[in-house]
Amino acid sequence: MRDQLTAAGAPAEDLAAFDDPGGAEQVMNRLVELGAMPARPDEAVAGILAQWAFTARSGTDPLDVELFGVEFVHMMRGMVSDADELPAMLTDLATHAEQTAAPAALSLLRSLAHLGPAEARDQRSGAPAGWSPPGHPRGVSRTRLPRAVCLSTSTHHTRRSGRSWPTRNTRTTSAHWSGSA
């Protein structure tokens, strides 16, 4: 973790938390006291969702959302010392994100379901039962999301005619994306 903070350009006083004696818990407590780490999981999730907020905006390019998701999963993979810890960490993150019911949380959940490791993917295929975005009544059968969120998290999309086509490994035109082809 010290190497990651050093690479990220953390100030010397934050890095000094690793120099004092004590185990991992003491180091984490010192980093929280310095304000270098969030004290509670909901603070950490709020920070992560703030980074994901652009994915829930109308007009966001689907490729940007997918690339951001790939970079996010890669970054999270680099934060664990053992690759076996990644699915549990992502599942825990998804559980906390889903409790916020924020549009960015839905984008995060869909990206993790699409791009995350298989163990986390199976558990996080989308929004929780009964979830609806703020301002929408519960029980709405179809949540309206920006096209970027919908397009970047599915391997097939359905045209208005009811036929579907793969979004990967094919050449598509703008007519395909607009649904007018």
- Helical residues (DSSP H) of the chain, grouped into ranges: 2-7, 12-15, 24-34, 41-52, 62-79, 86-100, 103-115, 118-123, 147-152, 174-178
Q: Which residue has the higher pLDDT, 136 or 66?
A: 66
- 71, pLDDT greater than 50: yes
Q: What is the pLDDT of residue 67?
A: 92
Q: What is the pLDDT of residue 152?
A: 40
Angle between helices 103-115 and 62-79 (to 10 degrees): 70
Angle between helices 86-100 and 41-52 (to 10 degrees): 80
Contact 153, 110 (CB under 8 A): yes
Bridge partners of 166, per DSSP, are 156
Q: Which residue has the higher pLDDT, 5 or 164?
A: 5
The token pair that represents 87 in the structure block: 């699915």
Report which secondary-structure segment, H or E, holds 164. Answer: strand 164-166
Q: What is the pLDDT of residue 178?
A: 40
- Calculate mean pLDDT across residues 59-74: 90
* Residue 1 banded pLDDT, cuts 50, 70, 90: low
Give the C-alpha separation, 167 to 165, whole Å: 6
Nearest Cα neighbor of 68 from 86, 48, 52 is: 52
> Which of 13-27, 100-114, 116-130, 155-169 shows the lowest mean pLDDT across its residues?
155-169
Report which secondary-structure segment, H or E, holds 157. Answer: strand 156-158
- 76, pLDDT greater than 70: yes
Q: What is the pLDDT of residues 96-131, one digit of tens each?
A: 888 888 999 999 999 998 888 888 775 554 445 444
- 21, pLDDT greater than 50: yes
Which residues are CB-contacts of 57 (< 8 A; sequence separation ≥ 6)?
146, 148
Give the C-alpha separation, 121 to 131, whole Å: 19
